[in-house]
Amino acid sequence: MSIAVLYEVHQEVRRLFIAGSGVAAGDFRLSKLLPQLQKLGESAPVFRRLAEAIQQTLEANSESSSVKLLELGTLLHSILYTQGSSELSGELKRFEPSGSLGITNVHYRKLRPLIDALTQRGPGRLEIVRQAKEEGLFHDMRTHIPAVVGLEDTYTEIADYLAEAVIPSIGAPVLPILMKQFQLNGGKADARKLLLIHRIGGIEYRELFQQAVDAGSTDVRLAAIDIWSNYAEFEGRLVELSRDKKKEVRRAALFALAKHPSDKAIDALMNALAGKDYSIALEPIQDCLDDHLTARLLVHANELFNKVTEGTLDEQTVERLATTVHCLEGRRTETVENYLISLVSNPSFNRKETDAVREHAAKLLLHSERQEAYAFLRNLHTLPDQRLIAYSFEAALRDLPPATVYEDYSPQFRNKEQFAAKELLRVMYNRTQPLMYAWDRAHKETADIQWDSRWVHVFVEINEEELVCRLADEQDRKVISYLADKWKVAPQMLKPRTASILFALYKLRYKETPELLLQSLEGAAARQIYYLDRDWLSLIRLLPAKYTERLEKFAEKLTYESVKQQMLEVVESVKANVQDESNESKGAGWIEWMKSKLL
């Protein structure tokens, strides 16, 4: 007897029970199965009887359809029940408990949302897991298997949280579950399981780790190599793996060897750096600051340097030298400093093809924070070659008085089209910040740099408007006139530069600033204002209370209700402002004054 067709009929009948007997008459899906049952009925009476019941259901009217559908369902369930079997196939095996121990005094109704979050998919599950961790629900043994299952979650934040915080807190009781569910040929989830087995059980599972390295998938092998990095006893095998066919395995082995820089480990790292795929050795070597490795790096770098300066310029040799110089990051020693200085200052190495190497060497000298390095970099600005002038300027800012920095470097700002001026302007923008950030707690003030007051006039002369705004600090008529004229060019409030100019004029205590701000607001077409950003809202809050009426009239003209509501809320804070003439006359710090108004 064919059971498959019976299950197909059962599925369609179940659908009709749910949809209602009213749609059973003439049902297309059920009628498609009728010919097959009629044919089977020629040799089996039970199929003939079932085919008749289906025929009666399909032809039933609205009054009798429910009865016919119920009769069909009863007959079908009776047939399926008689075809069932109570015997189980397969070999009987002894049940092995998980070995997980823990409390079970939490009501299942409280555990159910957590178990669903660990075993199902959908949004909001991470918060459920975190809350359960805080409440200690993972001490209940019923959560241990779902927690391990959760390591396979496609939402990596849940899987990572379980691996980092939850399963280690369960401890030894979860080890049998991890061992049972771990697959050598698995993916990232099994790599997590292997790392957790080591984290909880330690090196006692060395045979499993050995098996993972020898026969595991790539993800599992990488996890096992990471485990081996904690033990010097595996150094010999790690050296072998540093020559593996797979790039990922070689890289992982090099990272592991960098943690224990013995002679063999250093040899392996240097062999990788000198090999064909030398780039994979960069990060592992940067992680290892061993003095012996540093000495080997300098020897290797000198060999490459000599090849570049004495022989035919070879692109691959330059790239290898660049990688070796990158390997010197973080090694703040005198020998490294001397080598970098010789590399930058050697005329034979000063070529277009080596610019990137020289620039990175200058960067390392700057980050070394050594006075000798600063002195060398500062002197670069006097040379005809100005390609490293940005690093010279940075060193001067860190090591010289503000007046000296101005006197040494300001002449090179005069021609904005020159390469040196462009590089210096780039540094100026990086080392200053937009004026509106000065009062904002979310931004760190650049108070570590003191700028000479003469800089602002340089930027007025070369028409570098934004730097004038950032550096203007004193009530200077020339600077105020310059900024006021710049406001007239584009007074619309939708221009970002307009806000910067108004902040600067507030800083300089220009009395007409509130009026200019109101003109910018009123000059903007109300229908164009889709929102008011934080900068403009901050500027409006600085207005004296006497401008409240004009602000309210402006708010009524706004098209969008959300913007109008924003403006009316700001107006309430403006009403509380009182012009403090005495404070202005005393020249109170503008940052403190703005903070008092805005925060």
CATH code for the domain of 154:
1.25.10.10
By three-state DSSP, how is residue 140 classified?
strand
Query: Quick check: is 293 in a domain?
Result: no
- What pLDDT is attached to residue 22? 83
Average pLDDT over residues 553-558: 84
Together in a domain, 133 and 274: yes
Between residues 536 and 444, the one the model is more confident about: 536
Query: Quick check: is 462 in a domain?
Result: no
Domain extent for 170: 109-286
Query: Quick check: is 405 in a domain?
Result: yes
For 129-160, give one letter per residue: b (16+ CB within 10 A) or e: beebbeeebbbbbbbbbbbbbbbbbeeeebbe
- Calculate Rg over the CA atoms of the chain: 38
Together in a domain, 487 and 382: no
Together in a domain, 280 and 135: yes
Between residues 475 and 415, the one the model is more confident about: 415
Q: Are 573 and 540 in contact (CB under 8 A)?
A: no
Per-residue CA distances from 567 to 315, 323, 545 (Å) = 61, 56, 14
- What pLDDT is attached to residue 580? 47
- What pLDDT is attached to residue 445? 45
For the chain, give the mean pLDDT: 86
Query: Which of 82, 117, 152 corresponds to the end of one domain?
Result: 82
- What pLDDT is attached to residue 200? 95
User: Computed from CA positions of residues 280, 282, 287, 293, in that sequence, does the dihedral angle turn out positive or negative?
Assistant: positive
Q: From CA 345, how far away is CA 364, in angstroms rounded?
A: 14
Place of tokens 């008011």: 532
- What pLDDT is attached to residue 438? 58
DSSP secondary structure code for residue 259 in this structure = T
- What pLDDT is attached to residue 228? 95
Together in a domain, 230 and 199: yes
Average pLDDT over residues 12-21: 87
Contact residues for 346 (Cβ-Cβ < 8 A; gap 6+): 309
Residue 524 has pLDDT above 80, yes or no: no
Q: Binning pLDDT at 50, 70 and 90, where does residue 264 land?
A: very high
Together in a domain, 384 and 238: no
- What pLDDT is attached to residue 84? 61
Q: Binning pLDDT at 50, 70 and 90, where does residue 448 land?
A: low
145-174 confidence digits (pLDDT tens):
999 999 999 999 999 999 999 999 999 999
Between residues 590 and 134, the one the model is more confident about: 134
Q: From CA 284, how far away is CA 238, in angstroms rounded?
A: 13
Together in a domain, 505 and 559: yes
Together in a domain, 160 and 270: yes
Kindly report whether the global pTM for this prediction surpasses the value 0.85: no
Per-residue CA distances from 533 to 437, 486, 499 (Å) = 14, 21, 10
**The two three-digit tokens of residue 52, written as one number:** 């008749």
Q: From CA 346, how far away is CA 328, in angstroms rounded?
A: 19
Q: Are 535 and 504 in contact (CB under 8 A)?
A: no
Q: Are 333 and 290 in contact (CB under 8 A)?
A: no
Q: Are 365 and 391 in contact (CB under 8 A)?
A: yes
Q: Binning pLDDT at 50, 70 and 90, where does residue 441 land?
A: very low
Q: Binning pLDDT at 50, 70 and 90, where does residue 519 land?
A: confident
- What pLDDT is attached to residue 215? 93
Place of tokens 């000798």: 372
Q: Are 144 and 174 in contact (CB under 8 A)?
A: yes
**The two three-digit tokens of residue 582, written as one number:** 């005495």
Query: Quick check: is 227 in a domain?
Result: yes
Q: From CA 65, how far away is CA 456, in angstroms rounded?
A: 93
Per-residue CA distances from 258 to 225, 226, 265, 322 (Å) = 12, 11, 7, 20
φ, ψ of residue 491 to 5 degrees: the values are -80, -5
By three-state DSSP, how is residue 103 classified?
strand
Query: Quick check: is 195 in a domain?
Result: yes
Query: Quick check: is 28 in a domain?
Result: yes
- What pLDDT is attached to residue 545? 86
Together in a domain, 498 and 448: no
Contact residues for 201 (Cβ-Cβ < 8 A; gap 6+): 172, 175
Number of domains observed in the structure of the chain: 4
Query: Which of 45, 63, 82 corresponds to the end of one domain?
Result: 82
Query: Quick check: is 367 in a domain?
Result: yes
Together in a domain, 252 and 351: no
**The two three-digit tokens of residue 515, written as one number:** 């009026």
Together in a domain, 30 and 78: yes
DSSP E strand boundaries for 498-541:
none
**The two three-digit tokens of residue 548, written as one number:** 């409240």
Q: From CA 459, how far away is CA 461, in angstroms rounded?
A: 5
Q: Rank 11-20, 219-228, 310-319 by mean pLDDT and report only the highest.
A: 219-228
Report the length, in residues, of the chain. Answer: 599
Q: Are 388 and 358 in contact (CB under 8 A)?
A: yes
Query: Which of 67, 82, 97 corresponds to the end of one domain?
Result: 82
How far from the centroid of its chain's Cα atoms is residue 479's Cα? 42
Query: Quick check: is 472 in a domain?
Result: no
Residue 15 has pLDDT above 50, yes or no: yes
Together in a domain, 125 and 208: yes
- What pLDDT is attached to residue 426? 95
Together in a domain, 116 and 253: yes
Q: From CA 470, how far away is CA 488, in angstroms rounded?
A: 19
Q: For a pLDDT cut of 70, what percent of the chain falls above it?
A: 89
Angle between helix 28-41 and 45-59 (nearest 10): 150
User: Computed from CA positions of residues 241, 244, 246, 248, in that sequence, does the dihedral angle turn out positive or negative?
Assistant: positive
